[in-house]
Protein backbone atom coordinates (compact mmCIF):
# COMPACT_ATOMS: atom_id res chain seq x y z
CA UNK A 1 0.00 0.00 0.00
CA UNK A 2 1.36 3.40 -0.99
CA UNK A 3 1.86 5.99 1.69
CA UNK A 4 1.47 9.76 1.17
CA UNK A 5 5.27 9.96 1.12
CA UNK A 6 5.91 7.43 -1.63
CA UNK A 7 2.78 7.51 -3.79
CA UNK A 8 3.30 8.39 -7.41
CA UNK A 9 2.75 12.01 -8.32
CA UNK A 10 0.19 12.87 -10.97
CA UNK A 11 0.09 14.84 -14.19
CA UNK A 12 -2.88 17.12 -14.80
CA UNK A 13 -4.13 18.67 -18.02
CA UNK A 14 -6.29 21.79 -17.78
CA UNK A 15 -8.57 22.78 -20.64
CA UNK A 16 -9.79 26.35 -20.20
CA UNK A 17 -6.79 27.38 -18.10
CA UNK A 18 -7.25 31.10 -18.83
CA UNK A 19 -10.89 31.27 -17.72
CA UNK A 20 -12.31 32.40 -14.40
CA UNK A 21 -12.16 28.98 -12.72
CA UNK A 22 -9.27 27.69 -14.83
CA UNK A 23 -6.87 30.36 -13.56
CA UNK A 24 -7.72 29.57 -9.94
CA UNK A 25 -7.42 25.84 -10.61
CA UNK A 26 -3.95 26.23 -12.10
CA UNK A 27 -2.78 28.16 -9.03
CA UNK A 28 -3.96 25.37 -6.74
CA UNK A 29 -2.54 22.54 -8.85
CA UNK A 30 0.88 24.19 -9.05
CA UNK A 31 0.99 24.31 -5.25
CA UNK A 32 -0.29 20.76 -4.80
CA UNK A 33 2.48 18.31 -3.92
CA UNK A 34 0.41 15.48 -5.45
CA UNK A 35 1.07 16.88 -8.93
CA UNK A 36 4.44 16.86 -10.67
CA UNK A 37 3.27 18.56 -13.87
CA UNK A 38 0.33 20.69 -14.96
CA UNK A 39 -0.31 20.90 -18.70
CA UNK A 40 -2.12 24.06 -19.79
CA UNK A 41 -3.87 23.67 -23.14
CA UNK A 42 -4.47 27.20 -24.41
CA UNK A 43 -5.03 29.19 -27.60
CA UNK A 44 -2.37 31.73 -26.71
CA UNK A 45 1.08 31.53 -25.17
CA UNK A 46 1.08 32.15 -21.42
CA UNK A 47 3.88 33.69 -19.35
CA UNK A 48 6.15 31.17 -17.63
CA UNK A 49 4.68 30.73 -14.16
CA UNK A 50 6.26 27.57 -12.73
CA UNK A 51 8.69 24.77 -13.64
CA UNK A 52 5.72 22.43 -13.13
CA UNK A 53 3.63 24.18 -15.80
CA UNK A 54 3.79 23.11 -19.44
CA UNK A 55 1.95 25.34 -21.91
CA UNK A 56 0.61 23.44 -24.93
CA UNK A 57 -0.70 25.68 -27.69
CA UNK A 58 -3.78 24.75 -29.68
CA UNK A 59 -5.05 27.63 -31.79
CA UNK A 60 -8.17 25.78 -32.85
CA UNK A 61 -9.67 23.30 -30.40
CA UNK A 62 -11.30 21.46 -33.29
CA UNK A 63 -7.75 20.30 -34.09
CA UNK A 64 -7.37 18.48 -30.79
CA UNK A 65 -5.98 15.28 -32.40
CA UNK A 66 -2.91 17.21 -33.59
CA UNK A 67 -1.62 17.48 -29.99
CA UNK A 68 -2.60 13.98 -28.91
CA UNK A 69 1.01 12.96 -28.24
CA UNK A 70 1.44 15.90 -25.83
CA UNK A 71 -1.65 15.67 -23.65
CA UNK A 72 -1.30 12.37 -21.86
CA UNK A 73 -2.19 12.85 -18.18
CA UNK A 74 -3.63 11.21 -15.09
CA UNK A 75 -6.41 13.77 -14.70
CA UNK A 76 -8.22 16.01 -17.18
CA UNK A 77 -9.85 19.16 -15.81
CA UNK A 78 -12.35 20.74 -18.21
CA UNK A 79 -13.11 24.37 -17.36
CA UNK A 80 -14.53 25.34 -20.73
CA UNK A 81 -17.61 27.46 -21.14
CA UNK A 82 -18.93 30.55 -22.89
CA UNK A 83 -22.15 32.53 -23.20
CA UNK A 84 -24.54 32.70 -26.13
CA UNK A 85 -23.85 36.44 -26.34
CA UNK A 86 -20.10 35.92 -26.64
CA UNK A 87 -20.49 32.93 -28.96
CA UNK A 88 -22.76 34.94 -31.25
CA UNK A 89 -25.08 32.09 -32.15
CA UNK A 90 -26.56 29.03 -30.48
CA UNK A 91 -24.60 26.91 -32.94
CA UNK A 92 -21.28 28.42 -31.85
CA UNK A 93 -22.27 28.11 -28.21
CA UNK A 94 -23.01 24.44 -28.71
CA UNK A 95 -19.62 23.90 -30.35
CA UNK A 96 -17.87 25.24 -27.27
CA UNK A 97 -20.05 23.95 -24.47
CA UNK A 98 -21.09 20.61 -25.93
CA UNK A 99 -18.88 19.45 -28.79
CA UNK A 100 -15.54 20.44 -27.28
CA UNK A 101 -15.99 18.71 -23.89
CA UNK A 102 -17.29 15.59 -25.65
CA UNK A 103 -14.29 15.55 -28.00
CA UNK A 104 -11.95 15.94 -25.03
CA UNK A 105 -13.72 13.03 -23.36
CA UNK A 106 -13.09 10.92 -26.45
CA UNK A 107 -9.42 11.84 -26.30
CA UNK A 108 -9.26 11.02 -22.59
CA UNK A 109 -10.74 7.61 -23.29
CA UNK A 110 -8.26 6.98 -26.10
CA UNK A 111 -5.29 8.00 -23.95
CA UNK A 112 -6.47 6.05 -20.90
CA UNK A 113 -6.69 9.15 -18.72
CA UNK A 114 -7.74 7.89 -15.30
CA UNK A 115 -10.06 10.69 -14.21
CA UNK A 116 -11.94 13.69 -15.56
CA UNK A 117 -13.46 16.60 -13.63
CA UNK A 118 -15.82 18.75 -15.69
CA UNK A 119 -17.53 22.06 -14.95
CA UNK A 120 -21.20 22.03 -15.87
CA UNK A 121 -23.99 24.18 -14.39
CA UNK A 122 -26.58 24.02 -11.71
CA UNK A 123 -29.85 23.00 -13.33
CA UNK A 124 -28.17 21.15 -16.22
CA UNK A 125 -30.84 18.87 -17.64
CA UNK A 126 -31.31 17.42 -21.08
CA UNK A 127 -35.08 17.76 -20.56
CA UNK A 128 -34.89 21.49 -19.81
CA UNK A 129 -36.63 23.91 -22.18
CA UNK A 130 -33.86 26.43 -21.46
CA UNK A 131 -31.28 26.17 -24.25
CA UNK A 132 -28.29 26.78 -21.96
CA UNK A 133 -29.33 24.21 -19.37
CA UNK A 134 -30.41 21.73 -22.05
CA UNK A 135 -27.00 22.01 -23.73
CA UNK A 136 -25.21 21.50 -20.42
CA UNK A 137 -27.33 18.42 -19.81
CA UNK A 138 -26.48 17.12 -23.27
CA UNK A 139 -22.81 17.75 -22.56
CA UNK A 140 -22.92 15.71 -19.36
CA UNK A 141 -24.67 12.88 -21.14
CA UNK A 142 -22.28 13.00 -24.10
CA UNK A 143 -19.16 13.05 -21.94
CA UNK A 144 -20.40 10.15 -19.81
CA UNK A 145 -21.13 8.15 -22.95
CA UNK A 146 -17.63 8.62 -24.38
CA UNK A 147 -15.58 8.28 -21.21
CA UNK A 148 -15.55 5.25 -18.90
CA UNK A 149 -12.98 6.39 -16.34
CA UNK A 150 -13.64 8.14 -13.03
CA UNK A 151 -15.88 11.06 -13.94
CA UNK A 152 -17.05 13.98 -11.79
CA UNK A 153 -19.22 16.91 -12.79
CA UNK A 154 -19.31 20.05 -10.71
CA UNK A 155 -22.44 22.17 -11.12
CA UNK A 156 -21.89 25.68 -9.75
CA UNK A 157 -24.42 28.48 -9.78
CA UNK A 158 -23.34 32.01 -10.72
CA UNK A 159 -19.53 32.20 -10.67
CA UNK A 160 -18.04 35.09 -8.73
CA UNK A 161 -14.56 36.47 -9.40
CA UNK A 162 -12.55 38.82 -11.57
CA UNK A 163 -12.87 38.02 -15.26
CA UNK A 164 -10.47 39.21 -17.95
CA UNK A 165 -13.47 39.85 -20.19
CA UNK A 166 -16.30 42.16 -19.17
CA UNK A 167 -19.75 40.59 -19.01
CA UNK A 168 -22.10 43.38 -17.95
CA UNK A 169 -25.02 41.14 -17.06
CA UNK A 170 -22.90 38.80 -14.98
CA UNK A 171 -21.17 41.73 -13.28
CA UNK A 172 -24.51 43.16 -12.15
CA UNK A 173 -25.69 39.74 -11.03
CA UNK A 174 -22.44 39.23 -9.10
CA UNK A 175 -22.86 42.52 -7.23
CA UNK A 176 -26.43 41.62 -6.30
CA UNK A 177 -25.48 38.09 -5.29
CA UNK A 178 -22.63 39.25 -3.07
CA UNK A 179 -24.98 41.72 -1.38
CA UNK A 180 -28.09 39.60 -1.02
CA UNK A 181 -26.91 36.01 -1.35
CA UNK A 182 -27.13 35.54 2.42
CA UNK A 183 -30.91 35.85 2.10
CA UNK A 184 -31.06 32.70 -0.03
CA UNK A 185 -31.64 29.93 2.49
CA UNK A 186 -33.19 26.48 2.47
CA UNK A 187 -33.81 25.17 -1.06
CA UNK A 188 -32.57 28.47 -2.52
CA UNK A 189 -29.12 28.12 -0.91
CA UNK A 190 -27.84 26.07 -3.85
CA UNK A 191 -28.40 29.07 -6.14
CA UNK A 192 -26.11 31.40 -4.22
CA UNK A 193 -23.16 32.72 -6.17
CA UNK A 194 -19.93 30.82 -5.61
CA UNK A 195 -16.38 32.10 -5.82
CA UNK A 196 -14.37 30.67 -8.71
CA UNK A 197 -11.55 29.79 -6.31
CA UNK A 198 -13.94 27.63 -4.26
CA UNK A 199 -15.09 25.77 -7.38
CA UNK A 200 -11.46 25.17 -8.29
CA UNK A 201 -10.75 23.78 -4.82
CA UNK A 202 -13.71 21.44 -5.09
CA UNK A 203 -12.45 20.18 -8.46
CA UNK A 204 -9.08 19.30 -6.95
CA UNK A 205 -10.76 17.63 -3.96
CA UNK A 206 -12.47 15.21 -6.34
CA UNK A 207 -9.02 13.84 -7.25
CA UNK A 208 -7.76 13.25 -3.72
* Count of Cβ atoms closer than 10 Å to residue 55 Cβ: 16
Q: What is the rounded CA–CA span in Å between residue 165 and residue 96?
A: 17
Catalytic residue among 37, 52, 136, 147: 136
Active site residue 39: no
Q: Choose the catalytic residue: 132, 145, 191, 208.
A: 132
Question: From the CB of residue 183, how many other CB atoms can be counted at a distance below 10 Å?
Answer: 8
90 catalytic per annotation: no
Q: Which residues contact 24 (CB under 8 A, 6 or more apart)?
A: 161, 196, 197, 199, 200, 201
Residue 69: closest CA among 110, 100, 38, 106: 110
Question: Could you give the residue numbers annotated as active site?
Answer: 132, 136
Amino acid sequence: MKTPQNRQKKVAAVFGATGLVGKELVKILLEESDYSKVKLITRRLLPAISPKAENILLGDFSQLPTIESKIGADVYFICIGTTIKKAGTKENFRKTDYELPVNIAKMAQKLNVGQMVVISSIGANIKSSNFYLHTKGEMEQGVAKEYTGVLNFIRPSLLLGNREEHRAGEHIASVIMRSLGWMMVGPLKQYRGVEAAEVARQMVEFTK
